[in-house]
């Protein structure tokens, strides 16, 4: 397997750090199912709106999500499915370990 450039490894580490918070993992899982606005994420996750907005900013800065304005609301969606697979695989790994 070829060695990866340090910049690539650093960027991958930044991405994994952006995904590391439980609320951000939950946001990614919700956005896998549908594009959602902040108030829908608040309702789905039971987390305060300012906290959801803060986590969305981190995910947006990391290139995990993007927002698109629809009138007064911003609808968020995942940038691509690769990122959701990382989260889904991590959650599945933990759940499998809990069953052992």
For 16-53, what is each residue's pLDDT tens digit?
999 999 999 999 999 999 999 999 999 999 999 999 99
Q: In terms of DSSP H, where are the helices of 1-100?
A: 6-18, 22-33, 38-45, 49-61, 81-99
For the residues 56-60, what does the mean pLDDT come to? Answer: 96
Q: Give, in degrees to the nearest 5, the angle at Cα 49 between 47 and 52.
A: 70
pTM for this prediction: 0.89
pLDDT band at 58 (very low <50, low <70, confident <90, very high): very high
pLDDT band at 100 (very low <50, low <70, confident <90, very high): low
Residue 82: predicted pLDDT: 83
């Amino acid at each position: 397997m070829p060695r990866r450039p340090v910049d690539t490894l650093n960027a991958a580490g930044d991405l994994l750090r952006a995904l590391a918070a439980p609320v951000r993992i939950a946001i990614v899982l919700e956005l896998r199912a549908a594009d959602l606005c902040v108030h829908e994420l608040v309702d789905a996750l039971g987390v305060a709106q300012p906290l959801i907005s803060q986590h969305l900013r981190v995910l947006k800065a990391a290139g995990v999500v993007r927002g698109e304005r629809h009138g007064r609301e911003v609808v968020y969606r995942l940038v691509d499915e690769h990122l959701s697979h990382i989260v889904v695989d991590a959650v599945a790994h933990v759940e499998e370990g809990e069953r052992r």
